[in-house]
Amino acid sequence: MYQYDDRDRAIINDRVAQFRSQTERYLAGELGEEQFLPLRLQNGLYVQRLAPMLRIAVPYGLLNSAQLRRLARISRDYDKGYAHFTTRQNLQFNWPQLEDVPDILAELAEVEMHAVQTSGNCIRNTTSDPYAGIALDEIADPRPYCELIRQWSTFHPEFAFLPRKFKIAVSGSEQDRAAIRVHDIGVQIVKRGEEIGFQVLVGGGQGRTPVIAETIREFLPEEDLLSYLEAIVRVYNQLGRRDNKYKARIKILVKALGPEEFGRRVEEEWQHIKDGAEKLTQEALQWAKSFFTAPEYKTLDGAASEISLQQQAESDKAFARWLERNTYPHRVPGYTAVKLSTKPTGIPPGDVTDNQLDAIANLADTFSFGEARVTHDQNVVLADVEQNKLYELWQQARQYGFATPNIGTLTDMICCPGGDYCSLANAKSIPVAEAIQRCFDNMDYLYDLGDLNLNISGCMNACGHHHVGHIGILGVDKKGQEFYQIQLGGSASNEASLAKVLGPSFSRAEVPEVIGKILDLYVEQRRSEEPFIDTYNRIGLQPFKERIYAKAS
Amino acid sequence: MPKPVKLGPQPGNPTELILNGEIRPNEWQLIPQLEAGEDLDLIALPAGKVIVPLRQWRDNREAFAARGGEIGVWLDSDEGAELIGEEATELPLIAVHFPAFADGRGFTAGRMLRERYGFKGELRAVGGFMRDQLTYLRRCGFNAYAFEGEQPLASLKNSMSDFGDSYQTGTDQPLPMFRRRF
């Protein structure tokens, strides 16, 4: 993974000192609430319903064990002993004291971490594929580009006060596992012959006005990545709306101008800067790639490992289930990626305790070259596990509560913190997630349902990605009462689609029953192994509507 | 984008400012924007150095020619640097208005004036920006900061150097860090 040198360290230490001074000025009354707001937000500090919330950047989700242990320590020393993984592959503390935040940032800086630009109207943490570097369908590793984007966007002097927040995702594989089509900028690595380049998409997003991104460039040469991003953000900074925060995202500008005209303006701007100093040099590209080389894999007999795994699976059904759901194929023979589930029933999705953070660090050290990856569905990947150690890993993961074999199933849901924590929420989301998990706790049934993304957001800001869930649940406020709208058919994959609203919303108590009816209809209608989303795409919304809202006869 | 029907907040004109890192008296008088359709009264225009709105400068180029070095121009936040363009090099001063600190369009305008249009004169930030933006303003080419209201300028200018280094290019740093690491 990327390692700081003295220059990176100096910048992060300057930031800690700057924020310490800003906090002191705020606490001394020299800095007003309104002025402190954007400063604290650009350091990831929100003031929430019950306490401040501090969002720590985890660049493209990558963590080493020293960082995990430090996060565990911070959650013990400054918080209530737990933390929350977010859909931007970041980590949040829910209960820090405002006056402690400079010290927390100093502790983070010691392990090359920070909270820079994790909120505010600026360029946020760049996200990517949790299987980067190991996936079978990878065209090129996206992480070097993510790191170059991270550096370019960090304290960018021109783009710290954009019309609205700005999110970039990079996918390096054929299957999009980074949801690039619902980002302000989606970067897809492509090859033209042997030449690496990027397909560039703009104007995707979720929130109140969900939009699927449009391609403005089919092939951008590798060395032009940063100057082209600069041109896009510059056009947006000048032309994006600032009169209404709900119409300020780039997607609204792209819609208003049309993707062709927006793209034309970007190209025009880019002509001025494409051969400037931000053009990436071969030296810089090689340097960035040098941090993401393969670890020292052993030469293993993949076929033999497979056979012995099969034997273990046959003799232990629980292990077999876990193996089926919670592992992911690896390009190196004899290795497998493992997804630790943060979603056992009754725990808010994405929440981990300080002990669990330490446990992830230990598991990473023992089984996966000391690194772990936060995923956008709020789980944790250990990317490089020897297959003949999977059984041992599984046993240890079970002890720490990470081995719920539900990855990719109904109960592996994405869920925002909702009304329990967030001051923006219209409704709670965590209790809805729990009620669904309790209602559908039969593993055989979950496996029979197969791959199913259920996403829950507590308000239309869509932090829980409800627009792109196969089943999406949105908390709404109806005359002061919490209600839930159900949507169907969303997807954040290559064939990205936005979910459609089923009909009038339901009370919290009704939600599990409604989900049950949707699943029943799917089971009746599916053809052999057809997954939920394919059945939905074949039969459409109407049959679901009829089933759910049928008058009792 | 439709033009606002009513004039937004107008930049102030403090008596002192930070110029090239020093606290200096403000030698320029800033003329606020006029309502649409109204023309500048050239006779009532004060003697000495004045900063006029872009539209007034455009409308009165010939009249201003005689006052050469005494006429500066200010851009509002919805006016891009390209509206001055190459003519920037003829001006002694350009001010860029930040109607609110959250309105970051002026950062782009500043950079464009310096990097694309070769402006070498005084580039002044006016309006509601704040001290914590000084590093960004400096990196986007601003060398003068006319804070509004009563401000402890001596302590504010410390924030010009919150960061000792930077990843990207800026008017202060022609090379991004990836070209300087080796």
In this predicted complex, what is the ipTM? 0.96
Nearest chain B alpha carbon to A280: B178
Residue A66: count other Cβ atoms within 10 Å of its Cβ. Answer: 15
- A10 lies within 8 A of chain B by CB: yes
Long-range contacts of A97-104 (CB under 8 A, 24+ apart): A97/A51, A97/A52, A98/A23, A98/A27, A98/A45, A98/A52, A99/A23, A99/A27, A101/A19, A101/A23, A101/A40, A101/A43, A101/A45, A101/A52, A101/A54, A102/A16, A102/A19, A102/A20, A102/A23, A103/A78, A104/A54, A104/A74, A104/A78
Q: Which residue among A11, A17, A284 places its CB closest to the CB of B178?
A: A284
Residues in chain A closer than 8 A to B181 (CB atoms)? 5, 7, 284, 287
Domains of chain B: 18-25+45-165 (3.20.20.70)
Pick from A135, A225, A243, A151: nearest CA to A189 = A225
Partners of B18 in the β-ladder: B23, B145
pLDDT at B4 over 50: no
Which chain A residues are closer than 8 Å to B137 by Cβ?
157
Are the C-beta atoms of residues A57 and A115 closer than 8 Å to each other? yes
Q: Is B179 on the interface with A (CB under 8 A)?
A: yes
Q: How many CB pairs under 8 A join A and B?
A: 109
CB A354 within 8 A of CB A73: yes
A238 CB neighbours in chain B (<8 A) are 80, 105, 108
**Cross-chain Cβ contact B104/A278 below 8 Å:** no
A48: left (phi over 0), alpha (psi -120 to 50) or beta: beta
- How far CA A172 is from CA of A142, A197, A198, A232, in Å, comes to 5, 10, 9, 21
CB neighbour list of residue A10: distance below 8 Å, 6 or more residues apart: B164, B165
Say yes or no: A257 contacts chain B, CB-CB below 8 A.
no
Chain B nearest CA to A154, separation (Å):
7
* A242/B103 CB distance under 8 A: yes
Tokens of A56: 């720590």
Closest CA to A371 of A295, A290, A298: A295
**CA–CA separation, A553 vs A399, rounded Å?**
50
For the segment B125-153, the average pLDDT, to the nearest whole number, is: 94
- Rounded CA-CA distance A250/A244 in Å is 13
Q: B-chain residues within 8 Å CB-CB of A161?
A: 101-104, 107, 133
What pLDDT shows up at residue B41?
Answer: 87
In this complex, the residue of A38, A277, A284 whose CB is nearest that of residue B169 is A277
- Which stretch of DSSP H or E encloses residue B18? strand B16-19
Q: Which residue of A has its CA nearest to B77?
A: A238
B134 inside 8 A of chain A by CB:
no
pLDDT at position A223: 98
Taking phi first (over 0 means left), then psi (-120 to 50 degrees means alpha), and beta for anything else, what does residue A459 get? Answer: beta
Residue type, A432: V
Q: What is the pLDDT of residue B2?
A: 46
Instruction: Report the distance separating Cα A148 and Cα A157, nearest Å.
Output: 16
Burial class (CB in 10 A: 0-12, 13-18, 19+), A8: buried
A268 touches chain B (CB under 8 A): no
Block residue for tokens 């008596």? B15
Contact, A473 vs A486, CB < 8 A? yes
Cβ–Cβ below 8 Å for B178 and A280: yes
User: What count of other Cβ atoms lies within 10 Å of the Cβ of residue B49?
Assistant: 17
CA–CA gap between residue A279 and residue A134 (Å, rounded): 28
Structure tokens at A58: 């985890």
- Cα-atom radius of gyration of chain A, to the nearest Å? 23
> Cα–chain-centroid distance for residue A41?
19
Sheet holding A327-329, edge to edge: A62-64, A371-374, A380-386, A335-340, A327-329
Spell out the residues 6+ positions from residue B46 whose beta carbon is closer than 8 angstroms to its own: B29
Of A11, A162, A288, the CB nearest to B163: A11
Question: Based on C-alpha coordinates, what's the Rg of chain B?
Answer: 17
Contact yes or no for B168/B176 (Cβ under 8 A):
yes
Q: Does B166 contact A162 at a Cβ distance shorter than 8 Å?
A: no
For A17-134, strand residue ranges (E) read: 45-47, 52-56, 62-64, 82-85, 91-93, 127-128
Using a CB–CB cutoff of 8 Å, tell me whether B80 touches chain A.
yes
Torsion (CA) A27, A33, A39, A40 in degrees, nearest 10: 70
CB-based contact, B9 to chain A, within 8 Å: no
pLDDT of residue B1: 44
pLDDT confidence of residue A552: 58
- Print pLDDT tens along chain A (553 aa): 999 999 999 999 999 999 999 999 999 998 888 889 999 999 999 887 777 899 999 999 999 999 999 999 999 999 999 999 999 899 999 999 999 999 999 999 999 999 999 999 999 999 999 999 999 999 999 999 999 999 999 999 999 999 999 999 999 999 999 999 999 999 999 999 999 999 999 999 999 899 999 999 999 999 999 999 999 999 999 999 999 999 999 999 999 999 999 999 999 999 999 999 999 999 999 999 999 999 999 999 999 999 999 999 999 999 999 999 999 999 999 999 999 999 999 899 999 999 999 999 999 999 999 999 999 999 999 999 999 999 999 999 999 999 999 999 999 999 999 998 888 899 999 999 999 999 999 989 999 999 999 999 999 999 999 999 999 999 999 999 999 999 999 999 999 999 999 999 999 999 999 999 999 999 999 998 999 999 999 999 999 999 999 875 5
Is residue B38's pLDDT more than 90? no
CB contact under 8 A, B165 and A7: yes
B147 vs B145: CA distance, rounded Å: 6
